[in-house]
Chain A
Amino acid sequence: KAGVTQTPRYLIKTRGQQVTLSCSPISGHRSVSWYQQTPGQGLQFLFEYFSETQRNKGNFPGRFSGRQFSNSRSEMNVSTLELGDSALYLCASSWSQRLNTGELFFGEGSRLTVL
C-alpha cells in the first residue's frame, strides 16, 4: 500500500512569497499532522486535521495555516515567507483518532528554502 506522499519535494522561494505544500495520507488514514524540522529547533508540531477539522495546533504564527479535504488529503500554506521558515516540512498520517497507542506514518518531506 502506498505510503504518505508529499509534494513538492524541494522548492525555493523568496522572502515575502507564499507557499503551499501538499500531503496525501495512506489510504484509510483520516488524521494528518504536519511538523517542521530544522537543525536548531528540531521537530515541532504545526497542526493536525481529522475529518476536515483542525483538532490541534502548535505554537506557530498565523502565517502558517492548513486544511484537509474530504478525501483526507491535506495542504499547508505559509504566507509572507521569512528566512527562518526554511525547513523540512513533514506530513504524517494515522488511523488512530487519539494516538494513544497508534503510530504516525511520515512522508519524506518537502524541503523549503527561503532566500
Chain B
Amino acid sequence: GNSVTQMEGPVTLSEEAFLTINCTYTATGYPSLFWYVQYPGEGLQLLLKATKADDKGSNKGFEATYRKETTSFHLEKGSVQVSDSAVYFCARNSAGGTSYGKLTFGQGTILTVHP
C-alpha cells in the first residue's frame, strides 16, 4: 500500500543552520507529494508540493525535489530561523486520481531552532 517514511526527530538546530528532513515514499503509481507544517496549537498548513518527477516545490526558503529514482522528497532550508520551529509532515496522495481527500502522512518531525 501507500506509505511515507520520515526521518525520526526531534531535530534541534541553531539559528542559521542548514536543515534537511528526509522523506521517502512507496513507489505506487505517480503520486503528488507534499510537505505540511504544524505550528504549536494550530492545524496543518501546506508548505510546498510537487506533482511530478523532478519538480521542485519551494516556499518560505524551504525546498524539496521529487526524486522518482530514489522515491524521495527531502525537505531542505539553507538557514533556519527560530520561527521555523514546528512539526513537519511529508505526505503523498493516492496516485491515479482517486485520492478523494486522503493523504498518507509520515510520522512527523519535530524541529526546534534555538537562537
- Interface contact B105-A106, CB-CB below 8 Å: no
Instruction: Give the distance to chain A from B40, nearest Cβ to Cβ, in Å.
Output: 11
The winner among A33, A98, A104, A105 for most chain B CB atoms within 10 A is: A104
A99 and B43 contact, Cβ closer than 8 Å, known pairs A42-B105, A42-B106, A43-B89: no
Instruction: Say whether B51 contacts A32, CB under 8 Å.
Output: no
Measured between beta carbons, the chain B residues less than 8 angstroms from A4 are 43
- Residues of B within 8 Å of A106, CB to CB, are 36, 43-45
- Return chain A residues, CB-CB under 8 Å to B26: none
Number of A-B pairs whose CB atoms are under 8 Å? Answer: 75
A94 CB → nearest B CB, Å? 7
| Interface contact B107-A99, CB-CB below 8 Å | no
Within 8 A of B (CB), among A97-113: 98-101, 103-109
By a CB distance below 8 angstroms, the chain B residues around A100 are 32, 51, 93, 97, 99
In the complex, A58 Cα to B102 Cα: how many Å? 8
* Bound complex: CA A9 to CA B30 (Å): 36
Which residues of chain B are within 8 angstroms of A104 by Cβ–Cβ distance? 44, 46, 101, 103
Q: Is the CB of B51 within 8 A of A99?
A: no
Closest to B104 in A: A45
Report the contact-size class of chain A (Cβ under 8 Å from the partner): 20 to 34
- B42: CB under 8 A from chain A? yes
User: Known contacts A48-B100, A106-B44: does B93 contact A99 (CB below 8 Å)?
Assistant: yes
- A residues near B32, Cβ cutoff 8 Å: 99-101
Is A55 among interface residues, defined by CB-CB distance under 8 A?
yes
Residue numbers in B under 8 Å from A58 (CB-CB)? 102
Docked-complex contact A108 and B100, CB < 8 angstroms: no
Interface set, chain A 72-115, CB cutoff 8 A to B: 90, 92, 94, 98-101, 103-109
Add 6 more A-B contacts to A56-B101, A98-B98, A106-B44 (CB < 8 A).
A4-B43, A43-B44, A90-B44, A103-B46, A106-B45, A109-B43
- What are 16 A-B interface contacts by the 8 Å CB criterion? A31-B100, A31-B101, A45-B103, A49-B101, A50-B101, A56-B98, A56-B99, A56-B100, A56-B101, A92-B44, A99-B93, A100-B32, A104-B46, A106-B36, A106-B43, A108-B42
